[in-house]
Chains A and B, each alone.
Chain A
Amino acid sequence: GAVVSQHPSRVICKSGTSVKIECRSLDFQATTMFWYRQFPKKSLMLMATSNEGSKATYEQGVEKDKFLINHASLTLSTLTVTSAHPEDSSFYICSARVDNVNTEAFFGQGTRLTVV
């Protein structure tokens, strides 16, 4: 299947700093990518839809100024957690679909963010 690579897999940062997470589709183009957040033993919560060449679409309750998304190319989307705080500590995971017609989503390996 298609491969989605996410980097870094783990990151520890100090409170108040910003962290950038990259999501790459390695062998296919993805006009749209999705960012999820997962708390321990909880489900994947959709945060936003990343659209190549245009603004991301955020789910209700997700702060767009807090979680900046950039989708500058058909193979790369980035999520920047700005001014991170301990409550932002979580598992962030991206996904992409090869096309827009009823296909499975391929997930990155996820990023464990710890804010100290």
Chain B
Amino acid sequence: GENVEQHPSTLSVQEGDSAVIKCTYSDSASNYFPWYKQELGKRPQLIIDIRSNVGEKKDQRIAVTLNKTAKHFSLHITETQPEDSAVYFCAASKTGNQFYFGTGTSLTVIP
């Protein structure tokens, strides 16, 4: 099966700074890579996703990059705000199949 690794496990940044979370995957057949944000006790919410035919995608303060050759993808959050504090999960999926999640990154934005 797919193995997704995520780093770092915890990340603290000052408000206004950028945060970067990195993930690697093992199955070259994976072609869909979403990022989820989960607040304590709540369900994961999709914040951005990228498909294997695209190298980069941006949505306001959030961007994701994908390097298929190296099998890694990253989440970039710019101008961080306290409400960005949460646990972030990356995932990898093949078409129509289940998601395999990374181990999560607990992000704390310090006001």
A residues with CB within 8 A of B: 1, 32, 34, 36, 41-46, 49, 59-60, 93, 95, 97, 100-102, 104-105, 107-110, 112
Contacts and interface: CB of A to CB of B under 8 A. Distances in A.
A60 B93 CA distance: 17
A43 B99 contact: no
B99 A46 contact: yes
Nearest to A36: B101
Determine the interface band of chain B, counting residues with CB < 8 A from chain A.
20 to 34
B34 A93 contact: no
28 contacts: A34-B98, A36-B101, A41-B87, A41-B106, A42-B103, A42-B104, A43-B89, A43-B101, A43-B102, A44-B101, A46-B98, A46-B100, A49-B98, A59-B1, A93-B43, A93-B44, A100-B96, A101-B95, A101-B96, A102-B51, A104-B46, A105-B34, A105-B46, A107-B43, A108-B43, A110-B42, A110-B43, A112-B41
Contacts of B49: 104
Interface string B73-91: 0000000000000010101
Contact of A95 (B31, B99, B104): B99
Interface in B36-77: 41-46, 49, 51
Contacts of A112: 41
A59 B44 CA distance: 21
Nearest to A91: B41
A45 B2 CA distance: 12
